[in-house]
């Protein structure tokens, strides 16, 4: 692949000053969520030093949260008093995600701006409200293929494969399984199926015991005749 800097005839010094992100298009929330996490992941930090970093979050163009790593100072808009970094210690690793209460997380367009010394970058996402009940993974980024990270496509494909495998497993009907294992599968088995499996197990055990009894009875008679 030809570097973007070469295609645009931009000097490497200027290109390296741009922070890149593991981009996300959309994050969904429901009323069931206690908190909402807005993802923001920088993938090309150089210093990994929180003391030279600055984070700024905007909603509809208005600053709602900021963190000054050098001064350890926070700013929170009155509309988001619970807003905080997902992990202050992980900021040096590029994790600038924002965590806030569901009630304060208004749907709309958000942007995350990160500065590391003289390097900076910005990523944008949209927060939407989902009317139905979402799976536990809803707060994971629901985003586009990462065009800034060569591993993004592989990660998205792997995530999709896991979801497909999970969906397929839920529609498999297993004919014979021990009851304790079937019970651990929860909703995968209907009550009637469980009852059938238990009855089948008892029938097999009874037939096996009867067979042992017959073998013991007639085996002893044969030995006596000899």
| pLDDT above 50 for 143 | no
Residue 20 pLDDT? 96
91-116 average pLDDT score: 96
| 182 pLDDT above the threshold of 60 | no
Q: Which helix (H) or strand (E) holds 162?
A: helix 152-170
Pick from 1-5, 132-136, 180-184: least confident: 1-5
Tokens of 11: 């000097």
Domain 4-135 fold is: Immunoglobulin-like (2.60.40)
pLDDT, mean over the chain: 76
Question: DSSP letter string over 138-152?
Answer: GGS-B----SS-TTH
The pLDDT-based confidence of 167 (bands split at 50, 70, 90) is: very low
Predicted local distance difference test score (pLDDT) of residue 8 = 47
Per-residue pLDDT tens over the stretch 52-85: 999 999 999 999 999 999 999 999 999 999 999 9
Asked whether 32 and 133 are in contact (CB, 8 A), the reply is yes
CA distance 113 to 121: 6
Q: What is the DSSP letter of 95?
A: B
pLDDT of residue 53: 97
Place of tokens 């994971």: 140
Predicted local confidence at residue 18, as pLDDT: 92
SS3 191: helix
Instruction: Check residue 224 and give its pLDDT.
Output: 55
Contact predicate 59/44, CB 8 Å: no
Asked whether residue 146 carries a pLDDT value surpassing 50, the answer given is no
Could you give the 3-state DSSP secondary structure of residue 84? strand
Query: What pLDDT is stored for residue 193 in this prediction?
Result: 76
pLDDT of amino acid 147: 42
pLDDT at 104: 96
Residue indicated by tokens 């163009």: 61
203 class by beta-carbon count within 10 Å (0-12 exposed, 13-18 middle, 19+ buried): exposed
pTM: 0.55
Cα separation of the two ends of the chain:
87
Task: Give me 86's structure tokens.
Answer: 């997902």
Return phi, psi of residue 17, to 5°.
Answer: -80, -5
| Other beta carbons less than 10 A from residue 119's beta carbon | 18
């Amino acid at each position: 692949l030809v570097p973007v800097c070469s295609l645009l005839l931009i000097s490497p010094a200027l290109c390296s000053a741009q922070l890149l992100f593991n981009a996300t298009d959309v994050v969904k929330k429901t009323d069931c969520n206690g908190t909402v996490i807005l993802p923001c992941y920088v993938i090309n930090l150089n210093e990994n030093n929180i003391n030279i970093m600055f984070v700024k979050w905007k909603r509809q163009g208005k600053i709602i949260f900021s963190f000054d790593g050098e001064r350890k100072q926070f700013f929170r808009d009155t509309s988001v008093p619970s807003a905080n970094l997902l992990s202050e210690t992980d900021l040096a690793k590029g994790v600038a995600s924002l965590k806030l209460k569901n009630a304060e997380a208004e749907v709309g367009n958000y942007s995350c701006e990160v500065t590391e010394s003289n390097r900076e970058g910005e990523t944008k996402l949209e927060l939407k409200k989902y009317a139905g009940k979402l799976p536990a993974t809803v707060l994971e980024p629901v985003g586009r293929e990462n065009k800034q990270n060569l591993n993004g496509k592989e990660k998205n494909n792997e995530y999709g494969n896991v979801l497909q495998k999970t969906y397929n497993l839920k529609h498999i009907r297993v004919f014979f399984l021990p009851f304790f294992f079937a019970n651990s599968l929860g909703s995968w088995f209907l009550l009637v199926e469980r009852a059938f499996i238990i009855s089948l197990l008892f029938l097999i055990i009874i037939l096996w015991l009867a067979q042992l009894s017959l073998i013991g009875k007639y085996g002893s008679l044969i030995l006596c005749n000899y």
